[in-house]
Structure 1
Amino acid sequence: MRDLRICFVGDSYVNGSGDETGLGWTGRLCARRISGDLRLTRYDLGIRGETTDQIGARWQSECTPRLPEGADNRVVLQFGINDVAVITGQGRHVAPEASLASAAELVSAAAAAYPTLWVGLPPANVACSPMHPSAGLEISFRQEDAIALNGAFKDLAAKLGIAYLDIQTPLLGDTAYLDSLTRGDRMHPDGEGYARITDLVDAWPAWSDWFEV
């Protein structure tokens, strides 16, 4: 039986925060691929509020013990939405050039160690801005910042030769997804929104190819 182990590394969208089912898109995605001849292990390594540099600092130490020698080990990355958050009184959380530098280091290192896929950042939740994710912290989002970073990440992926899935563009035109951002915890999509992300990733040839090996 094939022993496929996948670490999903990223922020709250990897974690599935706000989903009333607790599955997020990674849980739904893997549930669709479970079969009798596949031992599929999913590791959720998403941490709320983390920026690209923070994820880059921890990914290897968290993946290494979960991806043992002899298994079919893979990594899926998603990050960036917290980089574009505007913190009241402080400004943008991470400058664009810093986001790109951290992303290049993270993605290159992951791809050198394991087969790696990169899922792009989602649309910014402008409808519910400003938000208060924790006591004393207020953040807002501008859609144009998220669009710009998504485009820069897409260009970087092409330069590095890493498969990148732009989920932002189709989701911005998806009324059901945008409506899902105003429900649940009003910071993330609810279950319906995560299901829309799942559909996009599940239809991605780069993801499907992992199950044809």
Structure 2
Amino acid sequence: MRDLRICFVGDSYINGTGDERCLGWTGRLCERRFSWDYRLSFYDLGIRGETTAEVRARWKAECEARFPETADNRVVVQFGINDIGVVTGEGRQIEEDETVEEAEAFLKEVSDLYPVLWVGLPPANEACSPMKPSEGLEISFSQDAATALNERFKTCAEKLNVPYFDLQAPLLANRDYMSSLTRGDRMHCDGTGYAMIANLVNNWEAWDGWFSE
């Protein structure tokens, strides 16, 4: 029996923060792929608030701890939304060029070791900005910044020959998704939003291919 193990590595959107069912899009996605024909183990390695550089710094050790040499080991990554956050009184957390540099190095590291899929950053939650995720911290998110970074990510993925799923266009055009950003914790989408992301990724040819090999 195939021993398929997938680490989902990234930030709060990987973690599913704000989902009242605590499944996020990764839990819903793997639920739809459950089969007795293989043993699917998935690992949520999302940490809220992390930037691209912070995700990159920890990914290898965390994945290696969950990947036996005898298994079919794979990685899905999603990151970048925190990089574009503008902290009141301090400015943008990470400049775009630095984020892209870290992303390219990160994906190169992963793809050298494991099959990898890259899910793009979600739309910025402008409707609820500025947010106060913790005491003394106020942060805002710009859709223009998210759009610009997404375009740079697509170029980077093409350069590295890593499959990239662009969430921006379908989610920005979906009124229900954009409304989901204003519910729940008013920083992330709620469960209905995560379900929409799961639906999109589930129909992605690159993801589907992992289950037909």
**Could you tell me which residue of structure 2 aligns to residue 84 of structure 1?**
84
- The normalised TM-score by structure 2 is 0.99
- Corresponding letter in the other structure for 2:175: T
Tell me whether 1:97 sits opposite 2:97 in the alignment.
Answer: yes
Q: Percent identity?
A: 62
- Corresponding letter in the other structure for 2:160: L
- What is the CA–CA distance in structure 2 between the aligned matches of 1:52 and 1:126, rounded to whole Å? 21
- Corresponding letter in the other structure for 2:84: V
Task: Give CA deviations for 1:26-66 in whole Å, capped at 9, x if unaligned.
Answer: 00000000011110001000000000000000000100010
Tell me whether 1:7 sits opposite 2:11 in the alignment.
Answer: no
- What is the CA–CA distance in structure 2 between the aligned matches of 1:135 and 1:106, rounded to whole Å? 31
**Could you tell me which residue of structure 1 aligns to residue 116 of structure 2?**
116
- The normalised TM-score by structure 1 is 0.99
- What is the CA–CA distance in structure 2 between the aligned matches of 1:22 and 1:173, rounded to whole Å? 25
Tell me whether 1:106 sits opposite 2:106 in the alignment.
Answer: yes
Task: Give CA deviations for 1:163-182 in whole Å, capped at 9, x if unaligned.
Answer: 00001111000000000000
Aligned residues: 213
Q: Write out aligned runs for 1:103-182 (5 A).
A: 103-182=103-182
Structure 1 segments, 4+ long, off by >2 Å, are none
Task: Give CA deviations for 1:83-129 in whole Å, capped at 9, x if unaligned.
Answer: 00000001111000100010001001001010000000000000000
- Corresponding letter in the other structure for 2:137: L
- What is the CA–CA distance in structure 2 between the aligned matches of 1:155 and 1:186, rounded to whole Å? 31
1:36 match: secondary structure = coil
1:212 match: secondary structure = coil
- What is the CA–CA distance in structure 2 between the aligned matches of 1:5 and 1:36, rounded to whole Å? 14
- What is the CA–CA distance in structure 2 between the aligned matches of 1:101 and 1:58, rounded to whole Å? 17
Unpaired segments of 5 or more residues in structure 1? none
Q: Write out aligned runs for 1:28-43 (5 A).
A: 28-43=28-43
- What is the CA–CA distance in structure 1 between the aligned matches of 2:154 and 2:72, rounded to whole Å? 27
> How big is the alpha-carbon RMSD for the aligned residues of Structure 1 and Structure 2?
0.4
Tell me whether 1:192 sits opposite 2:183 in the alignment.
Answer: no
2:127 match: secondary structure = coil
Deviation of residue 208 (structure 1)? 0.1
- What is the CA–CA distance in structure 1 between the aligned matches of 2:23 and 2:200, rounded to whole Å? 16
- Corresponding letter in the other structure for 1:74: R
- Corresponding letter in the other structure for 2:132: H
2:13 match: secondary structure = helix
